[in-house]
Structure 1
Amino acid sequence: MTRFAAWAAIISGCLYFLMPMIGMTEFSLSMRRGVYSLDAYRVVMADPQFQATFAYSLIMALLTIVFGVLLVVPTAYWVQLKMPRMRPVVEFVTLLPLVIPAIVVVFGYIRLYNTSGWLPLTGSVTGTNLLLMFGYATLALPYMYRAVDTGLRSIDVATLTEAAQSLGAGWFRIMATLILPNVLSAVLSGAFLTLAIVIGEFTMAALLDRPAFGPYMQILGANRAYEPAALAVIAFAITWACMGLIQMVSRLSKHKRA
């Protein structure tokens, strides 16, 4: 009876999540009456605005990943090596983006970095893009930090550092050739999560008036019928592809260690 209840709960959960997606996919294929077709997907893929916004979000995701790695990996490494007592404080700080709404964060950015502020980033396109990248990095910080911290906990950081220093390696070389390769799978996991967050984010990009993929999805959804469903399926496919890549990287890392 317990086994039956467990399987019933699993099947119910799968149906709860899958049925809306199946219905949305079926609707996105019904643009041509009486027959399933990919017309909605062709219209979306051929839209120059879709190509421009998706390319913009992809570039911002790559920049956010690079910035996040440069920020998180040295911080997590230094906390584990030199300041283990500060771990609860750092973990608390990295959890704040989960409890502070994105709209509060972006309004704070606009208030602080507007043209009348001490650092007028919103006064130029480059500055606004930079501010948006910082906002994306803030949203992805909890996931990136925990992925890297878990990877660092799986290796003996102190011994590796002492061995490298005894051979004359400096801090930059230790980070670039020793620590980063050992936590590469964790970094890639955080990177894929960051990519999924940036591709679907709406609030920050809309309030900063940037041509990102999230606002484009909202605008299309307000004016079309079948194309938004196709766009949502594409967005879900990108997210699930990122999750699959995380699993693949984790499995390859385990086989390599074995």
Structure 2
Amino acid sequence: MSRRFPILSALIALIGAAFFIVPLIATFNFSLRMKRGELSFEAYRSVFDSDVFLGVLGFSATASLMAILMGVLIVVPTAYWVRLRVPRARPVIEFLSLMPLIIPPVVLVFGYVRLYGSSSILPLTMTEAGTNVLLVIGYVVLSVPYMYRAVDNGMAAIDIATLTEAAESLGASRLRTIVFVIFPNIRSAIMSGAFLTFSISLGEFVITSLLNRPAFGPYLVQMGQDFAYQPAALAIMAFAFTWICMVLMEAFATRKPGQRLLPWRAPRSVTKAKS
């Protein structure tokens, strides 16, 4: 007996998809009408011809990559240590990792300015380099809930205790174990968190604007105030870039962890024992 086609479920799915797709199509169609009476990519050409666009995109990409690097260096050892040594503290660490979702970014950035302003011991906001460092720190804080969840789930899929014991039995230090054993086995989880971090940081507006940094988020808002068609083109490009990140994240997330346990050659006795 053949199953009946789920008409109601399909209808709900179509309505939900139309809720997102129809505005996107309308925005794309509007972005093509910069030239009166014809469809063209003039708005996109205008955006790419702007030196300001290339500058803010490069600045945001650099800051986002720095945030990814800093986040990985902080989150991976923390999640590893909590799972290996203090598993009872996991609920506390998970709660702390969710704090950036609770605290509004405007409160966060005003706290940064207050702590690292001209009257503090470490006045980061007094120089451009210091303000950029503060911006990267803000990106890292905003991405912690996503990076920590991705890394923690990746570690849950492997036996880190056994991997650690195997590495230490071959003479590896704890740092070498994290770098050459744990990192390769959770690389798909790290990439997932990295793509999420990049997507969040690239379009962030509040912290970037209040710190007066030339990034993509404030640039998009400013373009929306001054022009009509270019902001629509920027919105479509940002949407496409986000979806590319999501597709790459899914591709890395569905890959199996690395099969190679250790990057160095095991002793001959160990190899014979395995065979």
Once residues 243 and 181 of structure 2 are traced to their aligned partners in structure 1, the CA distance between those partners, rounded to angstroms, is: 31
Cross-structure match for 1:92: 95
Cross-structure match for 1:223: 226
**Structure 1 residue 188 displacement after superposition:** 0.3
Cross-structure match for 1:21: 24
Decide whether aligned partners of structure 1 residues 218 and 186 sit closer, same or farther in structure 2, where only a CA change above 3 A counts.
same
Matches within 5 A, 1:109-188: 109-188=112-191
Which 4+ stretches in 1 moved above 6 angstroms? 254-257
Letter in 2 for 1:173: R
**Match of 2:254, SS?**
helix
Decide whether aligned partners of structure 1 residues 224 and 179 sit closer, same or farther in structure 2, where only a CA change above 3 A counts.
same
Greater per-residue helix proportion: 1
Letter in 1 for 2:174: W
**Structure 1 residue 249 displacement after superposition:** 1.0
Does the aligned pair in 1 maintain the 2:76–2:151 contact within 8 Å? yes
2:108 pairs with 1:105: yes
**Structure 1 residue 250 displacement after superposition:** 1.9
Does the aligned pair in 1 maintain the 2:187–2:257 contact within 8 Å? no
Does the aligned pair in 1 maintain the 2:139–2:201 contact within 8 Å? yes
RMSD: 1.4
2:207 pairs with 1:236: no
TM-score by length of structure 2 reads 0.91
Once residues 254 and 211 of structure 1 are traced to their aligned partners in structure 2, the CA distance between those partners, rounded to angstroms, is: 38
Question: Which protein shows a greater Rg?
Answer: 2
Cross-structure match for 1:190: 193
Cross-structure match for 2:66: 63
Does the aligned pair in 1 maintain the 2:72–2:190 contact within 8 Å? yes
Letter in 2 for 1:228: P
**Structure 1 residue 252 displacement after superposition:** 3.0
Match of residue 213, structure 1, among 213, 216, 219: 216
Does the aligned pair in 1 maintain the 2:184–2:258 contact within 8 Å? no
Q: What percent of counterpart residues are identical?
A: 50
**Structure 1 residue 192 displacement after superposition:** 0.3
Once residues 104 and 242 of structure 2 are traced to their aligned partners in structure 1, the CA distance between those partners, rounded to angstroms, is: 21
Once residues 258 and 160 of structure 2 are traced to their aligned partners in structure 1, the CA distance between those partners, rounded to angstroms, is: 21
- The aligned length equals 257
**Match of 2:98, SS?**
helix
Once residues 26 and 188 of structure 1 are traced to their aligned partners in structure 2, the CA distance between those partners, rounded to angstroms, is: 33
Cross-structure match for 1:250: 253
TM-score by length of structure 1 reads 0.97
Cross-structure match for 2:46: 43
**Structure 1 residue 114 displacement after superposition:** 0.4
Once residues 185 and 96 of structure 1 are traced to their aligned partners in structure 2, the CA distance between those partners, rounded to angstroms, is: 25
Once residues 206 and 253 of structure 1 are traced to their aligned partners in structure 2, the CA distance between those partners, rounded to angstroms, is: 40
Does the aligned pair in 1 maintain the 2:205–2:217 contact within 8 Å? yes
**Match of 1:248, SS?**
helix
**Where does structure 2 lack aligned partners over 5 or more consecutive residues?**
261-275
Once residues 202 and 103 of structure 1 are traced to their aligned partners in structure 2, the CA distance between those partners, rounded to angstroms, is: 10
**Structure 1 residue 256 displacement after superposition:** 7.3
Once residues 31 and 213 of structure 2 are traced to their aligned partners in structure 1, the CA distance between those partners, rounded to angstroms, is: 27
